[in-house]
Amino acid sequence: MKKIIKGALVLLFALCNPVLAQSAVDVGPASPIVIAPPKNATLVLEDSEGRMSFDEARSKLSEFRRASELTTPNSVSAYWVALNLRSTHSLEHVIRIVPSVGLGWKDIRISVVDADGKITEIRNYTGVHGMHNRIANENPLKPAADPAPSQYALHTLRPGQSVTVFLRMYADQRFPPKAYAPQIVDHQRYLEMRRLGLYIEGALAGAMLALAIFGWYNALHTRNAASYAYSIWILFALVSAIGQPVHDGQRLFELFIDISNIKVNHLYLAEFIGAAATFGQSMMYVIFARTFLELKDRFPVFYKVTHAYIMFYFAAAAARLLWDQHIIPAQIFWLPIGVSTWLVLMGVFTCAFIRMREGFEVARFFMIAMLPYLLFRTVYILNVLAWPSPLSFLPDVGIFYFIKEPTTAQAFGVALEALIMALAVVARTRMLQEQLSHNIQVQKELVENQNRVLEATVAERTRELEEQHDELEETHQIVIGSVNYASRLQRSQLPRAHRLEGRFVSLGVVWEPRDTIGGDLWWISSSQQGRSFSLAVADCTGHGVPGAMLSLLVSNSLERIYSADPEVRPSEALMSLDYLVRTGLNQDAEDSESDDGCDAAIIRIDRDACSMEFASAKIGLFHLSTEGMVRRHVGSRASLGYRQPPDDEDIPLGQMITYSPGDVFVIVTDGFTDQPGGDKATPVSFGYRRIERLLVEMRGQSADQISQGLRETFNRWQGAHQRRDDVTAVVFSL
């Protein structure tokens, strides 16, 4: 009676339940290894809040819809999938229930309900998290407790048994799932196919490991930037290939390293390592291509584009590894990355073609090597767009089954790229060595030819040098004669005796140009002009011939100023001198090439009133009284004659000075005060205080004696040091 009631309830439940009323998918000996259920056999319920329990989902079976009626899933909602299975095997049969396309779903929970209502909950999946395969720790020489250990969830179907499979899962925003229906895998037969997968992936990993060893050996041997870039890229490619999830596992973490369920931020450690290696591989490939093709020198604009791309890609990698972007649709986050990468690679391919046309033959290898790399990148973009790639049309047999997997295709592409690129690196290194050998041979022949030419021309050059030496000696004598003559002319511009007569009690002058002629001068107004007279000292820009020419202009300008107005005030005379020097050198014109001038001091002396008016541009006046007191009168900070006129606050102003008979006045140029010397290890300037102390020591002596003392003290101070500037000192008493 109980069996009848129970059967009636099951029948009633089946009639009322749209899921159980669906046609079942047969699992039997004639089924393929991987069964992809049709859309009309799969029912789906969207849980927008993701909070629904298994019992709640099971109670809402009437709300499930056919998978063919739904659009692409989003990454926020949870999706409940129901599928009926029926075993047609005569014996118990082990199956895997794998979410469609593996990478498309994450955080998966699987439950199986049999006809009696018994619920079997299979181990949950959480996506890519480096599940370690227990077979890696088994001793192959000892019988195992489980003859077929697996990292995947398994379920055993009894002969003729019908079950309903429930899956709760979320869509992965990176690679939108292409189907809701799970794949039903024949576990025993799949183990045999998996062995082939291990062979293929092992061969790829071994090839890249060998290429990595070769790359580093070549880089350390040649010490070439392109070889180093290739070696770093191949290491990233190796880790990426063995760390990426493929159709049935992640080899690096499945067989060698147990990092199951370890999280870094929002990612599992296995996923973190795989993503970091993939991003690093892409960036390093562009860096390697830039170095190999010499883009910085040959294509500077595109080089800057790749620089921006690397920074963008690095930012995307940081966002992927450090920030959970599950709320962003895949096309928004991943499509710009894939498209920008594809465009940059096409740009690199174009640059390689141009380099090949220029004669850089190894660029041909580079272009050939890029073809599989471009193909795998194209497959990646199509996968992000959820569009079928060319590889998806390959038959599900042999090696083609593995190449259809996007990550396996990536490994194939990178391996082929690395293999052909290794030939390109070797060819490039050989080309550089041949170029170096050729250049050395050319240089050797050039040196030999140059030696012969040199030997043939040494005698001729020696003869020419002797003739040139004679000509230079003759020219030197002419120059020396000219300079000496110029010195006589410059000395003739200095005040003559009739301008000094009766004006000073005593006068002493030190006038020593650094280079025979110079830019310092001292000047006295004509004795025929008024009861007062003026004395000027100027220090012109430069020394030698340029300074002497400028001093001639200054001397003539002073004559012009005082011939027009003998009683002109010193401050006004300085401003007139500033104007005349600037216009005389044409420095007031916009196209002037000169920017020269002078420092100057002018004193107008009234002997009857025992007074003088002093104005100066950067040249001071020492006043030694008969009591032995020294006072220094400082001029303005302006210089005269340069392109830029003095500022209003720097215009020289007149200073009235009274004196007593017997007082001594001293004017020196900066060649005196700035001369380094002394007996210390570090030379210091002569300075103003040393002049003041010397004047105090020599008080009561005549101006001529004081000037002689200044000359001797200055020469001792200079010692072996080189004279820096023209030196002028005018000492007088009234």
Among 34-38, 141-145, 272-276, name the one with the lowest average pLDDT: 141-145
Residue 644 tokens read as 């830029």
Pairing mode of beta strands 105-114, 263-264: unpaired
8 Å CB contact between 541 and 598: yes
Among 128-137, 314-323, 508-517, name the one with the lowest average pLDDT: 128-137
Q: Which pLDDT band, with edges at 50, 70 and 90, does 176 fall under? A: low
Q: Hey, which of 204-213, 328-337, 347-356 has the most confident mean pLDDT?
A: 347-356
Greater confidence (461 vs 690) lies with 690
Polymer length of the chain:
734
State residue 535's pLDDT score.
96
Q: Hey, which of 2-6, 535-539, 542-546 has the most confident mean pLDDT?
A: 535-539
pLDDT in tens, 279-299: 888 899 899 889 989 899 999
What mean pLDDT comes out for the span 127-132? 61
User: How remote is the C-alpha of 31 from its chain's centroid?
Assistant: 59
Q: Hey, which of 242-251, 478-487, 695-704 has the most confident mean pLDDT?
A: 695-704
Q: Hey, which of 97-111, 135-149, 172-186, 449-463 has the most confident mean pLDDT?
A: 449-463
| CATH code matching the domain that covers 495-733, chosen among 3.60.40.10, 3.40.50.620, 3.40.50.970, 3.40.190.10 | 3.60.40.10
Q: How far apart are CA 50 and CA 79, in angstroms?
A: 8
User: How remote is the C-alpha of 113 from its chain's centroid?
Assistant: 61
| Domain pair 15-181 / 495-733, same fold | no
Asked if residue 675 has pLDDT above 70, the reply is yes
Amino acid, res. 85: L
Residue 3 tokens read as 């069996």
User: How remote is the C-alpha of 257 from its chain's centroid?
Assistant: 37
State residue 126's pLDDT score.
55
8 Å CB contact between 514 and 453: no
State residue 659's pLDDT score.
95
State residue 327's pLDDT score.
59
Helices (H) and strands (E) in the chain, counts: 18, 25
User: Using CA of residue 702, residue 707, residue 710, residue 716, what is the dihedral sign?
Assistant: negative
8 Å CB contact between 601 and 663: no
State residue 235's pLDDT score.
87
Asked if residue 21 has pLDDT above 80, the reply is no
Q: How far apart are CA 614 and CA 574, in angstroms?
A: 11
Q: Which of 554, 583, 539, 582 is nearest to 672 (CA)?
A: 539
Q: How far apart are CA 286 and CA 279, in angstroms?
A: 11
- Please work out, in degrees rounded to the nearest 5, the angle formed at the alpha carbon of residue 191 by the alpha carbons of 187 and 192: 125
State residue 654's pLDDT score.
94
What mean pLDDT comes out for the span 533-554? 93
Asked if residue 685 has pLDDT above 70, the reply is yes
Greater confidence (509 vs 127) lies with 509
Compute, in degrees rounded to 10, the torsion defined by CA atoms 215, 216, 221, 227. 50
What mean pLDDT comes out for the span 505-517? 93
Among 114-123, 187-196, 439-448, 507-516, name the one with the lowest average pLDDT: 187-196
State residue 679's pLDDT score.
85
Q: What residues form DSSP beta bridges with 264?
A: 267
Q: Which residues of 155-189 are buried (b: 16+ CB within 10 A; e: fewer)?
A: bebeeebebbbbbbbbbbbbbbbebbbbbbbbbee
Q: For the chain, what percent of residues have pLDDT higher than 70? A: 87
Q: Hey, which of 18-22, 343-347, 461-465 has the most confident mean pLDDT?
A: 343-347
pTM surpassing 0.75? no
pLDDT in tens, 654-665: 999 999 999 999
Q: Which of 573, 526, 504 is nearest to 731 (CA)?
A: 504
The mean pLDDT value of the chain amounts to 84
Q: Which pLDDT band, with edges at 50, 70 and 90, does 123 fall under? A: low
Q: How far apart are CA 538 and CA 619, in angstroms?
A: 8
Q: Which pLDDT band, with edges at 50, 70 and 90, does 19 fall under? A: very low
State residue 103's pLDDT score.
55
Asked if residue 732 has pLDDT above 70, the reply is yes
8 Å CB contact between 605 and 533: yes
Q: Which pLDDT band, with edges at 50, 70 and 90, does 166 fall under? A: very high
Q: Which residues of 620-645 are buried (b: 16+ CB within 10 A; e: fewer)?
A: bbbbbeeeeebeebebbebbbbbeeb
pLDDT in tens, 359-399: 888 888 888 888 877 877 777 667 656 666 677 677 767 67
pLDDT in tens, 599-612: 999 999 999 899 99
Q: How far apart are CA 642 and CA 597, in angstroms?
A: 5
- Please work out, in degrees rounded to the nearest 5, the angle formed at the alpha carbon of residue 404 by the alpha carbons of 397 and 73: 125
Domain boundaries, the chain: 15-181, 194-328+375-441, 495-733
Q: Which pLDDT band, with edges at 50, 70 and 90, does 677 fall under? A: very high
Among 14-23, 315-324, 682-691, name the one with the lowest average pLDDT: 14-23
State residue 632's pLDDT score.
96
| CATH code matching the domain that covers 15-181, chosen among 2.60.40, 1.20.81, 3.40.50, 1.20.120 | 2.60.40
Residue 295 tokens read as 């883009």
Greater confidence (580 vs 174) lies with 580
State residue 264's pLDDT score.
80
Q: How far apart are CA 441 and CA 452, in angstroms?
A: 17
Q: Which pLDDT band, with edges at 50, 70 and 90, does 17 fall under? A: very low
Among 76-85, 87-96, 213-222, 681-690, name the one with the lowest average pLDDT: 213-222
What mean pLDDT comes out for the span 140-154? 65
Asked if residue 148 has pLDDT above 60, the reply is no
State residue 157's pLDDT score.
92
Greater confidence (173 vs 572) lies with 572
State residue 441's pLDDT score.
83
Q: How far apart are CA 348 and CA 369, in angstroms?
A: 12
What mean pLDDT comes out for the span 467-492? 86
Residue 652 burial by Cβ neighbours in a 10 Å radius (0-12, 13-18, 19+): buried
